[in-house]
């Protein structure tokens, strides 16, 4: 038996997506990092500790995800993890491309890190390496096996584009072979490098998404893997809800910007920032003002930056709404 649920937004938990640096050893074609907007520096450990504390103070049920760039390139990542654990973060995840620099597996332990989350964008070496760089497929697979053999739980992230949707069903036997615990299917966001490539060359159609992605998630859940994917499309009867208004998600970058909506990250629309290591609200206009808008198409930022995934009736009304990018469907075995 498998159960499917829409993961509702919650004000009881805080999710902190902490980019501790923006540098990376890979040059993925769809990377969302925009150094002009996010900064080029790696944060010193003292700053990381201060910023971590700021969010635990907001909510004791806080989850932390360490990101980059490639976070394992940061020589003090293990110390940042230990600080997060000591501060009382409910869960700690490290997102990685699989190269696992600075001997990170031996510097932390499974009691400190809940998940290592790996990114793989093709079921075959050819497709993944075309997107993420030569040699990245083999290194990621090796990194996953090393991590699992050391006793850690693992997630695998697959970002769907026109160039790899044909291989996502092939991920099912790979998930089983590797022993992955969680499978995250992501929809490509038109930001960072993706914005330069163009929406028409990357985003899959609504019909493709709905005909392929839910079925793949169900098959993954059949292995005992928890499968999660963005809802993306809402029927006209379904209510649109913006996570920026009702949830506590924070996306932190090394230059001090703090966003509540990842679709805003290519623009200076951040609603908060660190000034002199103090978390403060920014002046208007910012993303909070956009969250207040109510349009028939659903997500305002989607309408602004990636309108090609919308479709309209002859009377000008949208055929469907675009959900908040943080709204997820989750399927797991009972």
CATH number at residue 190: 3.20.20.70
Q: Provide the domain count of the chain.
A: 1
| Residues 240 and 234 sit within 8 Å (Cβ to Cβ) | yes
- How far, in Å, CA of 213 to CA of 224, rounded? 17
Beta carbons of 75 and 31 less than 8 angstroms apart: no
| DSSP per-residue letters across 146-195 | HHHHTT--EEEEEEE-TTTGGGGGGHHHHHHHHT-SEEEEEEPPS-THHH
Output the pTM of the full model: 0.95
Q: What is the DSSP letter of 140?
A: H
- C-alpha dihedral, 192 to 197 to 201 to 205, nearest 10°: 20
Report how far residue 227's alpha carbon sits from residue 216's, in angstroms, rounded to the nearest whole number. 9
> What pLDDT score was predicted for residue 7?
62
Structure tokens at 208: 């493709």
The pLDDT value recorded for residue 77 is: 98
Q: How many CB atoms lie within 10 A of CB 333?
A: 14
Residue 53: give the domain boundaries.
Answer: 2-333
Helices (H), the chain: 35-38, 45-58, 77-87, 104-107, 125-132, 136-149, 171-178, 193-197, 199-202, 206-221, 243-246, 287-291, 300-305
- Of 121, 177, 113, the C-alpha closest to 145 is 177
CA 246 to each of CA 89, 236, 327: distance values in angstroms, whole numbers, following the listed order: 21, 21, 12
Residue 20: name the closest of 56, 59, 57, 74 by CA: 74
Residue 65 tokens, joined? 């995800």
Looking at residue 10, what is its pLDDT?
A: 67
Predicted local confidence at residue 57, as pLDDT: 74
pLDDT in tens, the chain (334 residues): 466 766 667 667 799 999 999 999 999 999 999 999 999 999 999 999 999 999 987 777 899 999 999 999 999 999 999 999 999 999 999 999 999 999 999 999 999 999 999 999 999 999 999 999 999 999 999 999 999 999 999 999 999 999 999 999 999 999 999 999 999 999 999 999 999 999 999 999 999 999 999 999 999 999 999 999 999 999 888 999 999 999 999 999 999 999 999 999 999 999 999 999 999 999 999 999 999 999 999 999 999 999 999 999 999 999 999 999 999 999 987 6
Q: Quick one: which of 273, 329, 327, 267 has its CA closest to 301?
A: 267
- The encoded tokens of residue 187 equal 């929809």
Distance from C-alpha of 214 to C-alpha of 292, rounded to nearest angstrom: 30
Other Cβ atoms closer than 10 A to 245 = 12
320 close to 236: Cβ distance less than 8 angstroms: yes
Are 214 and 329 contacting, i.e. CB atoms less than 8 angstroms apart? Answer: yes
């Amino acid at each position: 038996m498998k159960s499917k649920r829409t993961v509702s937004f919650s004000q009881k938990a805080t999710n902190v997506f902490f980019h501790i640096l923006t540098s990376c050893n890979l040059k993925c074609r769809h990377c969302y990092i925009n150094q002009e907007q996010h900064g080029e520096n790696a944060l010193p450990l003292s700053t990381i500790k201060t910023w971590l504390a700021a969010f635990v103070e907001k909510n004791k049920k806080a989850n932390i995800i360490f990101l980059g760039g490639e976070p394992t390139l940061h020589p003090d990542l293990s110390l940042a993890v230990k600080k997060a654990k000591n501060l009382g973060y409910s869960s700690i995840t490290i997102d990685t491309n699989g190269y696992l620099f600075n001997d990170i597996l031996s510097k932390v332990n499974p009691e400190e890190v809940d998940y290592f989350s790996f990114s793989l964008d093709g079921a075959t070496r050819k497709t993944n390496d075309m997107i993420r760089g030569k040699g990245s497929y083999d290194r990621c697979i090796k990194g996953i096996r090393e991590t699992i053999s050391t006793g850690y739980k693992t997630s695998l992230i697959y970002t769907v584009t026109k160039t790899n949707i044909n291989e996502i069903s092939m991920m099912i036997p790979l998930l089983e072979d590797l022993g992955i615990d969680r499978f995250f299917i992501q929809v490509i966001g038109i930001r960072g490098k993706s914005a330069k490539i163009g929406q028409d060359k990357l985003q899959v159609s609504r019909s493709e998404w709905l005909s392929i992605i839910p079925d793949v998630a169900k098959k993954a859940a059949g292995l005992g893997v928890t499968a999660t994917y963005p809802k993306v499309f809402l029927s006209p009867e379904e209510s649109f809800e913006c996570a920026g208004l009702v949830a506590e998600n924070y996306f932190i970058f090394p230059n001090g910007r703090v966003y509540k909506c990842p679709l805003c990250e290519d623009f200076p629309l951040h609603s908060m920032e660190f000034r002199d290591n103090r978390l403060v609200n920014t002046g208007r206009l910012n993303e909070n003002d956009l969250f207040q808008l109510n349009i028939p198409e659903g997500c305002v930022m989607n309408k602004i930056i990636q309108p090609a995934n919308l479709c309209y009736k002859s009377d000008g009304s949208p055929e469907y709404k675009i959900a908040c990018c943080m709204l997820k469907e989750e399927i797991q075995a009972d």
